[in-house]
Amino acid sequence: MIITRTPFRISFFGGGTDYPVWYQNHGGVVLSAAINKYCYISCRYLPPFFEYTHRIRYTFREETKSIDEIKHPSVRECLRFLDIQKGIEMVHTSDIPARSGIGSSSAFTVGFLHALYALKGKMCTKRQLAREAINIEQNIIKENVGSQDQVAAAFGGLNKIVFGGSELFFVNPVPLHKDKLDYFQDHLLLYYIGMPRTASDIAGEQIHNTAQKEGELKNLMALTEEATAILNHDDFERISEFGKLLNEAWKIKKSLSKLITNESIDQIYSTAISAGATGGKVLGAGGGGCMLFFVPVYNQKKVKEALNNLLLIPFRFDTMGTQMVHYATQDF
């Protein structure tokens, strides 16, 4: 039995520049952090007592006699990719619901690949897991997904991730002293707003609009660099500027697709800003899920009161990335 734990992520800046259609020509850069909310996958070879050969449990339960019959696309294609010949049982659970904008689908793919490699008795690097998850999601399943979620899930940490070139991506950890890191995290409020959406549909329109949004995407890349510089500055107080940059980036992000926001999201954002937040965004492709706000500590009581109808999710950054938390051999 193998159990892997893989973190979800929050993306601060640069989302949209991590799509291949953009970074293959212009390069891309994002600033993101893995968080201590996780996808858990338990996996083992299925004992030979059943009429079926594969038992897959997630939101639904599948019992099939072949890989081809498996409906879950990531499960099916990961099994094919690693040429798993024996039947398996896989159970998936997570701390935050799917379609919440926190990179859950890519965390699943990374965590499942990690478990399957262990099941085969093989070790693999975080870079390998990220690259193969990107390949499976983008080229085999053909989802409309970027490349940042897989990297964040595999590596963990607070990183500036640069996309493009023969290596596909470079992970640059943002080194912050513990006091400064805590100070930064203490300014962040994460809310679940519901309205689950299908990210691929929203991303599909954004990808389609890429050629017409060159100026906006270059501005997002510039804001990413500026935000990273703020975090690296010696003066703690400069971190207050981070929220203002988030506000600028949110205005740009909304212009990339008409599906990214809606009346309800705009109302939540306006309420938070009026109560004292200096910036924020919808996480992921948009349309619902989770929203992140940057709020000075002295304004957080007001913001929490103003948004008391929403679910506040406490979190801290994850530094480990995908981990194997249990390994036990089987006799069958």
Gap between the Cα atoms of 285 and 205, Å rounded: 10
52 and 150 fall within a common domain: yes
- Which pLDDT belongs to residue 205? 64
pLDDT in tens, the chain (332 residues): 999 999 999 999 999 999 999 999 999 999 999 999 999 999 999 999 999 999 999 999 999 999 999 999 999 999 999 999 999 999 999 999 988 999 999 999 999 999 999 999 999 999 999 999 999 999 999 998 999 999 999 999 999 999 998 889 999 999 999 999 999 999 999 999 987 655 566 666 667 667 788 899 999 999 999 999 999 998 888 999 999 999 999 999 998 888 788 999 999 999 999 999 999 999 987 788 999 999 999 999 999 999 999 999 999 999 999 999 999 988 76
Question: How much is the pLDDT for 202?
Answer: 63
Q: For the domain that residue 88 is a member of, what is the CATH number?
A: 3.30.230.10
- In-domain check, residue 291: yes
- DSSP reduced 3-state for 203: helix
Q: Are residues 266 and 197 in the same domain?
A: yes
Structure tokens at 185: 């995290």
Whether 322 and 214 map to the same domain: the answer is: no
Number of independent structural domains in the chain: 2
**Domain presence at residue 145:** yes
| 306 shares its domain with 244 | yes
225 is in which domain, residue-wise?
A: 178-312
244: domain CATH number is 3.30.70.890
Rounded to a whole number of angstroms, the distance between the first and last alpha carbons of the chain is 11
pLDDT at residue 166 in the model: 82
One domain, residues 150 and 183: no
In a domain, 166, yes or no: yes
The pLDDT value recorded for residue 197 is: 57
- Residues 74 and 57 both lie in one domain: yes
Residue 202 sits in the same domain as residue 113: no
Residues 204 and 161 in one domain: no
Q: Output the pLDDT for position 212.
A: 81
Give me the pLDDT at residue 200, please: 60
* Pair 12, 132 in one domain: yes
* Whether residue 303 sits in one domain with residue 244: yes
133 and 167, same structural domain? yes
Q: Are residues 101 and 183 in the same domain?
A: no
Residue 332 lies in a domain: no
